[in-house]
Structure 1
Amino acid sequence: MTNTAAEKVHVHAPSGFPGVELMRARYVTQRFSRHFHEEYAIGVIERGAMRFRYLGNDMTAAAGQVNIVVPGEPHDGHAAADHGWTYRMFYLAPAVLEAALQEVAPQAHQVHFAVGVIADSELAARVLRAHCCFADPGASTLARQTLLLDMLTHWISRHGDRRSSLPATHSEAGAADAAREIISERHAEDLRLEEIATYAGMSPFHLVRVFKARFGLTPHAFLVHVRIHRARALLRTHMRLADIAAAVGFSDQSHLTRHFRRQYGVTPGAYRNFIQNSARPHA
């Protein structure tokens, strides 16, 4: 699928590997809006360079480097040079990493990665090998499983911060979590800030400040994220795009398309085609 004459994107969801999705893309003019993923993202810059703001810092991922984003951490993205960037990315559900974590450190309950760019040629090679294998329709399940586990164990053991417990929460964090919960549950509604603030137990002004401090997004930006995430799941069904837009709370299909492309770099229709094509058995 082509966005412009210079921008190409391909998405692949391999059958038999729930929670694993791949993307290979070249971007020149694409500017990703500030958003976050429910999954871990790990990939390699093949050519060019990408600049993004992540973990409170401006970062640049250049050719040969590994780009990482953890679930829930807001970030954006755009070209760091006129010729843009090309990369291969994995999007991995937390359960995929949890399985590998048990192999590396059975006593750990979770793993965190404190950087967004890693200069590790061995990890980059593993990511590329696994990505190419998953993209190869003739590759065996065993080959994919082996290379994925090799990539994950190297990544976790070399760069993961393994933790045995979650950090304690405070009253403001609890209020922000409550607001996040109501937005997630009622994302298709036309929610008012006053209603969310009342549910969270603080003033609207205070809630916006606390919510952004905790999640890196305003309540409205988080609402858009939730709607896009729900729409992404529905694109695996046969629902019409206009019906999907209405089901997740967008006023019309054009709003869905605009926000989806700003977050994923492709239109909803193109994403659906990629997923449907990758689910078809190969001769």
Structure 2
Amino acid sequence: MPDDAQPISPGPAATACRLPLCPDALALYASYRNHRFSRHAHEGYALGVIEAGALAFRYRGSRLVAPAGAVNLVQPGVPHDGEPAGDDGWRYRMLYLPAALLSMVLPDGAPLPHFRPGVIEDPLLAARVADTHRLLMDAAASQLARETALLALLALWTGRHADDRPASPPVGPEPRAVRLVLDLLAARFAENLSLHDLAREAGLSPWHLSRVVARHTGLSPHAHQRECRLRAARRALAGPDRLADIAAMAGFADQSHLTRAFAARFGLSPGAYRKIVQNTSALPG
């Protein structure tokens, strides 16, 4: 959804970070009021959402306008430019995605997806792009969370809007793979494991593994990892360790990250839970 509460910067402002799974993938958060991009083409795909203002660009022989809330995209090798569609400029969240990254969510041997439009009005996809982009730029997010969200976004995008709509590989019974993954997450919950780490143990591709675990357990690998971390933190709250030390022991980026996750899962803060546990254990009998 568009976020109009934050004004567009009067001058160019941009932050970027590299994405997981592929070293050449990039996330960009930027605002421009007067900037005009010269005509160019990308080696990979570009997918974004306009948060405020409007972006105009010439693409496939037409001048397109992507307003706030719209998804904008370009196909590899297709020339385009970019400029403000009005006096206020625009602010957007962009993902620059090598073809190898999209191939991870396609069946083996499937051709790379083709997208004809440069602007898509799809509120569900726009919200998913924005949410995934925020997660990818969150330094406190785990590797599993970032990778799972990115692949899920790519599968949603290709499944809803690619010209050929390639079907995802079927998810069959993989009890051994699921058990291996759950055991690994339980044993190494504090480590910043990646989907590649889990996939290597299970003998499956990262995306197929993520879908298999979710299909058979109802939770993604990242959700299982978070659950293991929260259980470890909950056990530790019966002891004397500081909350910051418990957060580090359980694999959370910091105490505030633990507090948010703990409250979302259990309905109260770690400190409040500790008081209940310690007061209860102090009762006689």
Measure, in 2, the Cα distance between the counterparts of 1:71 and 1:15. Answer: 20
Residue of structure 2 equivalent to 1:26: 31
Residue of structure 2 equivalent to 1:141: 143
Measure, in 2, the Cα distance between the counterparts of 1:132 and 1:163. Answer: 26
> What is the DSSP-based 3-state SS (H/G/I as helix, E as strand, rest coil) of the residue aligned with 2:106?
helix
Identity of aligned residues (%): 46
Measure, in 1, the Cα distance between the counterparts of 2:118 and 2:87. Answer: 22
- Asked if structure 2 preserves the Cα contact closer than 8 Å seen for 1:130 and 1:147, the reply is yes
The reply to whether residue 131 of structure 1 matches residue 169 of structure 2 is no
Give the alignment's TM-score, normalised by structure 1: 0.53
Measure, in 2, the Cα distance between the counterparts of 1:162 and 1:16. Answer: 24
The reply to whether residue 52 of structure 1 matches residue 57 of structure 2 is yes
> What is the DSSP-based 3-state SS (H/G/I as helix, E as strand, rest coil) of the residue aligned with 1:126?
helix
Measure, in 1, the Cα distance between the counterparts of 2:147 and 2:165. Answer: 25
1:235-273 per-residue CA deviation (whole Å, 9 max, x = no partner) reads xxxxxxxxxxxxxxxxxxxxxxxxxxxxxxxxxxxxxxx
Task: Identify which of 149, 152, 155 aligns with 2:154.
Answer: 152
- Asked if structure 1 preserves the Cα contact closer than 8 Å seen for 2:55 and 2:67, the reply is yes
Structure 1: give runs of 5+ residues left out of the alignment.
165-281
Larger RCO (CA under 8 A, 6+ residues apart): 1
- Asked if structure 1 preserves the Cα contact closer than 8 Å seen for 2:22 and 2:101, the reply is no
> What is the DSSP-based 3-state SS (H/G/I as helix, E as strand, rest coil) of the residue aligned with 1:6?
coil
Task: Identify which of 65, 70, 74 aligns with 1:65.
Answer: 70
> What is the DSSP-based 3-state SS (H/G/I as helix, E as strand, rest coil) of the residue aligned with 1:156?
helix
The reply to whether residue 100 of structure 1 matches residue 100 of structure 2 is no
- Asked if structure 1 preserves the Cα contact closer than 8 Å seen for 2:10 and 2:33, the reply is no
- Asked if structure 2 preserves the Cα contact closer than 8 Å seen for 1:30 and 1:78, the reply is yes
* Distance 1:163-1:139 versus aligned 2 partners, 3 A rule: closer
Residue of structure 2 equivalent to 1:87: 92
1:78-104 per-residue CA deviation (whole Å, 9 max, x = no partner) reads 0001010000000000000111122xx
The reply to whether residue 37 of structure 1 matches residue 42 of structure 2 is yes
CA positional deviation for 1:25:
0.5
Structure 2: give runs of 5+ residues left out of the alignment.
1-8, 167-252, 255-285
> What is the DSSP-based 3-state SS (H/G/I as helix, E as strand, rest coil) of the residue aligned with 2:164?
strand
Residue of structure 2 equivalent to 1:268: none
CA positional deviation for 1:146:
1.4
Residue of structure 1 equivalent to 2:276: none
**RMSD across aligned C-alpha pairs, in angstroms?**
2.0
Please identify runs of 4+ aligned residues in structure 1 that moved more than 6 A. Answer: none
- Asked if structure 1 preserves the Cα contact closer than 8 Å seen for 2:20 and 2:143, the reply is no
Residue of structure 1 equivalent to 2:202: none
> What is the DSSP-based 3-state SS (H/G/I as helix, E as strand, rest coil) of the residue aligned with 1:111?
coil
2:115 alignment partner AA: F
CA positional deviation for 1:119:
0.3
2:145 alignment partner AA: A
2:155 alignment partner AA: T
1:135 alignment partner AA: M
1:7 alignment partner AA: P
Paired residues in the alignment total 160
Measure, in 1, the Cα distance between the counterparts of 2:127 and 2:118. Answer: 17
Give the alignment's TM-score, normalised by structure 2: 0.53
CA positional deviation for 1:17:
3.8
